[in-house]
Amino acid sequence: MHKVLKILVAVLSLIGIIGLVRIIMTGEEEAKAIIGSGEGILFETMSSIAYIILILAIVIVVIFIFKNLFTGGGNIKNTLIGVGAFVAVLLIGYLMSGGDTKEYFYNDIIATDSESQLVGGGLIAFYILSVVAILAMLFSGVKKIIK
């Protein structure tokens, strides 16, 4: 399986590099004109490759997580505690964000209150997780210094 994944990564990387070189050779003004005309097949191809790579990465990670959990290599209790804590942080972030009464426009589309609350909740959850990560690194460093 490792050899198959290496070959797949190499092929997708080669396609991505060729696409990137073609985009760079196109030039900025011509690229904007192509995108504006709706004929940007090269750009659509690059985004499709990016989505494929993202989906493959997620699938592979999930497969190896479950493989490790159920083959005795992992502790299901600790995993469920970690997932529960993450969900709790997301829930706290969502409940702390009250949405926004302003109207935000993106490509002439108005963001709804629920969309605004989801974005705010995501930001608050990001801040909480960032603080926890920083504190964990500091705690680990201090613990090593003390030993």
Tokens of 100: 């926004």
On whether the CB atoms of residues 101 and 120 are closer than 8 A, the answer is: no
The residue from 74, 90, 111 where one domain ends is: 74
Segment holding 105, helix H or strand E: strand 105-106
- Say yes or no: 66 and 101 in one domain: no
Structure confidence at residue 5 as a pLDDT band (50, 70, 90) = confident
pLDDT of 25 > 90? The answer is no
What is the tally of structural domains in the chain? 2
Which are the contacts of 32, defined by CB distance < 8 A and separation ≥ 6?
A: none
The residue from 11, 43, 74 where one domain ends is: 74
- Say yes or no: 96 and 123 in one domain: yes
Domain of 102 in residue numbering reads as 75-147
pLDDT in tens, 44-67: 777 787 888 889 888 988 888 888
Mean pLDDT for 27-36 is 74
- Say yes or no: 101 and 127 in one domain: yes
Whole-structure pTM value: 0.57
- Say yes or no: 81 and 116 in one domain: yes
